[in-house]
């Protein structure tokens, strides 16, 4: 196996990886070989493994990689076992590993002996996490790498270790749990001042931007409360993001200095949150996604049903220097109160492969136990006792799929419509503006904060789902990295906007529309006042069921703390869930709150989510939507193109528990409206609409790979290939639950509920 700059190669041919996370340090030594053999026989062809610093450097300067102090510290034996079983390895030596593990992988002695390395957020003076760019921490990290390198280097040279992950979800453990925009660590402040010197010509320019009165740069101190100006907030956010990137680049440099020459990569969570800046991190190494779209205590297969298909496209839009990978796809979930059906594991893995990932790693393959006796439970294919679970059946099915379809899928190209969804990485700054001061949010800005959170992700993933079920195959483009030429390849661009864009990006969108493109902005306009892209005036905003969203979120949070929290025995799992719970509740309720609008062109009803902003329709414009006859959206000619604004969000229902639980007419209305809007703008669907089914179309060297993901109940279906395409016969089929299809000029068949069906049709 070899990972190149674009592909994963097995025996020098493009192929897929079906990997699994094996946490040897949590699993009894005598279970390793039997379990790994079972996974290899099931079709797993790669193992990924964290190497916890805290586990192997028992005390400062004393390393154990051979199991002298505990059998489960035998890293050498584990790697040699993988060699003997011919299982390639991805190694993940941190220094941070998170993994709900003690110290997040950082030794306790480091925090105790070197307290100067710890962050000092004003709101959490006893905070335990590390300022990543502290010279002392970097020196200790290099020493850790130096101890590991002699063991890793020969296996890397032999191709037995095929990749190395730099750190883990970097930024989230340190800054994201507050989030903490300000660090009063003296070294962090010194580096901030240096950063600002490169940003501003002199201190007066800084004062003008920040609204401050510093006499020189040495007097500059980060604010202990929320930033006073947006410029100050953006400067601080960029400093943290750039600090994270600098740290990762330093880690990569250390490994190269030690003679380690392999494929380096990074990973981040699927849900875009500050300070995870995928576009910036890609400058260091390609960034893969960790996918956990089932985490709420509600009886649905997934909480974010279309995130599983949107996220691969979103990450691919910023990818540089490597194949798209999913370093973690949750086998289950760490909260045992959340029921993750086996079919959800199938859908997550298959959607990632079908939407472009060349390497999926199931996390974790095996439950385990920590040194304090806490059980690490995840509903994995093997439980903490070393016994198979019901999830092992889907592992075997996925392994067979990889064997039968891997090369065909890896050598195919996805077919897309000339329709794009714009994702904007820096929109996290619009959300950060509210989360810096939770007390102020609760009093003044809670609705705005929720609006922007929903706009930034569930609205995008849900819009993707609406377009797909309407027969389109949308592209995803990151606005700041996509060229004007790439934008112009799409006849229509949808943009869920949180409210701010740089002048350069506004100019880019103006040029796109002037040249004949159609821009559809939803949410909040990205410019204030009169602008040719927004000729209609924005009036007041109303939020249907806003109080119910807050009440529901608070109720869930209170219920968790009073009735469920004490049932979670693992301390770091409990800590992690406490941090996630407010976000979980917001997603559950805010993505389902809405009201019925009227389609002004065709008279039908359209379900909208979260907000209703009234607008004036400009002269020469066309009203698109209204509520009680008051305009909510319009389309206006601009240059050779059109600019539309819709003062609400249409997608969130498609990426929420409401997808399964609410009136199906809501989903149907959104699918119908966006489809009719695209037809009006001159873009026809590739296939007929199929509510509840997601079609994926990929061209292979000898035909068409067509897949269907069924998010609904069992059903019959009929569909055709895109206009002008011809096929001869079905040459290959895959289904987990026994779905079937036939071809006689069009495709027809029966899909089992929750199943994934893959077909290969030979060219006529």
Q: What is the pLDDT of residues 144-160, one digit of tens each?
A: 999 999 999 999 999 99
- Together in a domain, 234 and 85: yes
Residue 227 near residue 233, CB atoms below 8 Å: yes
In this structure, the strands spanning 13-14 and 161-165 are unpaired
By CB neighbour count within 10 A (0-12 exposed, 13-18 middle, 19+ buried), where does 744 fall?
exposed
Q: Phi and psi of 377, rounded to 5°?
A: -105, 135
- Together in a domain, 623 and 707: no
In this structure, the strands spanning 605-609 and 594-599 are antiparallel
**Can you give the CATH number for the domain in which 669 is found?**
3.40.50.880
Residue 203 near residue 139, CB atoms below 8 Å: no
- Together in a domain, 497 and 645: yes
- Together in a domain, 435 and 370: no
In a domain, 488, yes or no: yes
Alpha-carbon dihedral of residues 714, 716, 720, 722, nearest 10 degrees? -20
Residue 669 near residue 590, CB atoms below 8 Å: no
Residue 228: what pLDDT?
83
The residue to which tokens 């709101």 are assigned: 123
Burial profile 675-699: b = 16 or more Cβ within 10 angstroms, e = fewer: bbbbebbebebbbebbebbbbbbbe
What is the average pLDDT across 454-483? 97
Token reading at 172: 């989230």
- Per-residue pLDDT at 195 exceeds 70: yes
- Together in a domain, 165 and 303: yes
- Please name which of 395, 365, 286, 308 lies closest in space to residue 50, comparing C-alpha atoms: 365
Q: Which of 392, 411, 430 is the last residue of a domain?
A: 411
Residue 718: what pLDDT?
96
- Together in a domain, 297 and 196: yes
Q: Within its chain, how far is the Cα of 604 from the centroid?
A: 34
- Per-residue pLDDT at 441 exceeds 70: no
Residue 589 near residue 305, CB atoms below 8 Å: no
- Please name which of 237, 97, 235, 244 lies closest in space to residue 165, comparing C-alpha atoms: 97
- Please name which of 53, 118, 63 lies closest in space to residue 91, comparing C-alpha atoms: 53
390 vs 124 pLDDT, higher one: 390
Q: Which of 362, 386, 411 is the last residue of a domain?
A: 411
Read off the pLDDT of residues 677-717 as tens digits, 9 standing for 90 and up. 999 999 999 999 999 999 999 999 999 999 999 999 999 99
Cα gap 520→501, rounded to integer Å:
15
- Together in a domain, 742 and 651: no
In a domain, 431, yes or no: yes
- Per-residue pLDDT at 443 exceeds 80: no
By CB neighbour count within 10 A (0-12 exposed, 13-18 middle, 19+ buried), where does 603 fall?
exposed
- Please name which of 343, 323, 339, 430 lies closest in space to residue 393, comparing C-alpha atoms: 343
In a domain, 562, yes or no: no
Token reading at 337: 């109160």
- Please name which of 353, 414, 302, 416 lies closest in space to residue 711, comparing C-alpha atoms: 302
Q: DSSP assignment of 70-95, as one string?
A: -GGG-HHHHHHHHHHTT--EEEE--S
- Together in a domain, 672 and 713: no
In a domain, 438, yes or no: yes
**Can you give the CATH number for the domain in which 702 is found?**
2.60.40
- Together in a domain, 217 and 86: yes
- Per-residue pLDDT at 499 exceeds 70: yes
- Together in a domain, 75 and 194: yes
Read off the pLDDT of residues 506-522 as tens digits, 9 standing for 90 and up. 999 999 999 999 999 99
In a domain, 157, yes or no: yes
pTM above 0.85, yes or no: yes
In a domain, 580, yes or no: no
- Per-residue pLDDT at 444 exceeds 80: no
Q: Which of 411, 427, 453 is the last residue of a domain?
A: 411
Read off the pLDDT of residues 221-242 as tens digits, 9 standing for 90 and up. 998 888 889 999 999 999 999 9
In a domain, 294, yes or no: yes
- Per-residue pLDDT at 439 exceeds 80: no
- Together in a domain, 157 and 279: yes
Q: How many domains does the chain have?
A: 3
- Please name which of 359, 451, 452 lies closest in space to residue 398, comparing C-alpha atoms: 359
Cα gap 669→138, rounded to integer Å:
54
Full residue range of the structural domain in which residue 222 is found? 2-411
- Together in a domain, 301 and 450: no
Q: Phi and psi of 168, rounded to 5°?
A: -155, 120
Count CA atoms closer than 13 A to 221's CA, side-chain side. 10
The residue to which tokens 């029966």 are assigned: 750
**Can you give the CATH number for the domain in which 222 is found?**
3.20.20.80
In a domain, 480, yes or no: yes
In this structure, the strands spanning 325-330 and 287-291 are parallel
């Amino acid at each position: 196996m070899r990972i190149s700059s674009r592909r994963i190669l097995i025996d020098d041919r493009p192929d897929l990886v079906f990997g699994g996370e094996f946490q040897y340090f949590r699993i009894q030594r005598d279970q390793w070989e039997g379990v790994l053999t079972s996974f290899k026989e099931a079709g797993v062809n790669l193992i990924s493994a964290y190497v916890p610093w805290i586990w192997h450097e028992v005390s400062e300067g004393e390393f154990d990689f051979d199991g002298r102090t505990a059998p489960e510290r035998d890293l050498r034996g584990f790697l040699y076992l993988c060699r003997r079983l011919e299982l390639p390895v991805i190694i993940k030596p941190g220094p941070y590993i998170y993994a709900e593990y003690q110290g997040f992988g950082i030794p306790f002695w480091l925090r105790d002996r070197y307290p100067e390395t710890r962050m000092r957020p004003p709101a959490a003076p006893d905070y335990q996490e590390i300022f990543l760019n502290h010279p002392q921490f970097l020196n200790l990290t290099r020493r850790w790498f130096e101890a590991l390198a002699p063991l890793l280097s020969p296996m890397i040279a032999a191709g037995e270790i095929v990749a190395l992950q730099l750190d883990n979800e970097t930024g989230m453990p340190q800054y994201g749990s507050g989030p903490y925009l300000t660090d009063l660590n003296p070294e962090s402040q010194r580096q901030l001042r240096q950063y600002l010197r490169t940003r501003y010509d002199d201190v007066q320019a800084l004062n003008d931007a920040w609204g401050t009165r510093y006499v020189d740069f040495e007097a500059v101190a980060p604010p202990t409360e929320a930033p006073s100006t947006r410029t100050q907030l953006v400067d601080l956010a960029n400093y943290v993001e750039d600090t994270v990137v600098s740290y990762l680049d330093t880690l990569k440099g250390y490994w190269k200095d030690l003679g380690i020459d392999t494929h380096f990569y990074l990973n981040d969570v699927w849900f875009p949150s500050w300070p995870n800046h995928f576009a910036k991190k890609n400058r260091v190494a390609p960034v893969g996604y960790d996918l956990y779209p089932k985490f709420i205590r509600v009886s649905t297969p997934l909480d974010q049903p279309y995130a599983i298909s949107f996220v691969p496209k979103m990450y691919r839009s910023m990818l540089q220097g490597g194949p798209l990978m999913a370093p973690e796809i949750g086998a289950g979930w760490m909260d045992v109160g959340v029921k993750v059906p086996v079919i959800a594991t199938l859908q997550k893995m298959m959607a990632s492969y079908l939407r472009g990932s060349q390497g999926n790693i199931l996390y974790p393959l095996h439950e385990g136990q920590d040194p304090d006796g806490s059980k690490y439970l995840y509903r994995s294919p093997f439980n903490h006792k070393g016994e198979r679970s019901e999830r092992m059946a889907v592992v075997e099915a996925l392994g067979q799929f990889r064997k039968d379809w891997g090369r065909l899928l890896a050598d195919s190209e996805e077919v897309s419509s000339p329709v794009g969804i714009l994702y904007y990485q820096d929109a996290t700054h619009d959300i950060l503006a509210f989360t810096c001061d939770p007390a102020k949010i609760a009093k003044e800005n809670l609705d705005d904060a929720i609006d922007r959170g929903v706009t930034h992700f569930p609205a995008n993933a849900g819009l993707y789902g609406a377009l797909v079920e309407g027969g389109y195959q949308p592209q995803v483009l990151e606005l700041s990295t996509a060229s004007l030429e790439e934008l112009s390849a799409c006849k229509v661009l949808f943009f869920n906007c949180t409210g701010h864009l740089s002048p350069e990006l506004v100019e880019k969108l103006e040029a796109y529309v002037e040249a004949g493109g159609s821009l559809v902005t939803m949410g909040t306009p990205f410019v204030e006042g009169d602008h040719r892209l927004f000729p209609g005036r924005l009036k007041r905003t109303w939020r249907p069921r806003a109080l119910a969203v807050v009440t529901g979120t608070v109720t869930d949070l209170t219920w968790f703390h009073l009735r469920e929290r004490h049932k979670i025995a693992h301390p770091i799992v409990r800590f992690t869930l406490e941090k996630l719970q407010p976000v979980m509740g917001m997603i559950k309720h805010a993505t389902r709150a809405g009201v019925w609008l009227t389609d002004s062109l065709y008279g039908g009803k359209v379900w909208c989510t979260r907000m209703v902003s009234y607008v004036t329709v400009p002269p020469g414009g066309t009203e698109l939507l209204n509520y009680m006859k008051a305009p909510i959206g319009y389309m206006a000619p601009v240059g050779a193109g059109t600019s539309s604004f819709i003062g609400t969000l249409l997608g969130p229902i498609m990426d929420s528990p409401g997808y399964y639980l609410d009136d199906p007419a809501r989903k149907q209305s959104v699918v119908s409206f966006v489809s009719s809007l695209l037809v009006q703008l001159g873009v026809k669907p590739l296939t007929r609409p199929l509510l509840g089914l997601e079609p994926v179309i990929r061209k292979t060297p000898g035909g068409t790979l067509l897949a269907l993901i069924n998010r609904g109940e069992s059903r019959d279906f009929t569909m055709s290939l895109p206009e002008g395409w011809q096929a001869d016969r079905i040459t290959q089929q895959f289904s987990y639950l026994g779905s079937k299809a036939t071809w006689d000029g069009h495709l027809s068949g029966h899909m089992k509920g929750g199943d994934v069906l893959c077909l290969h049709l030979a060219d006529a």
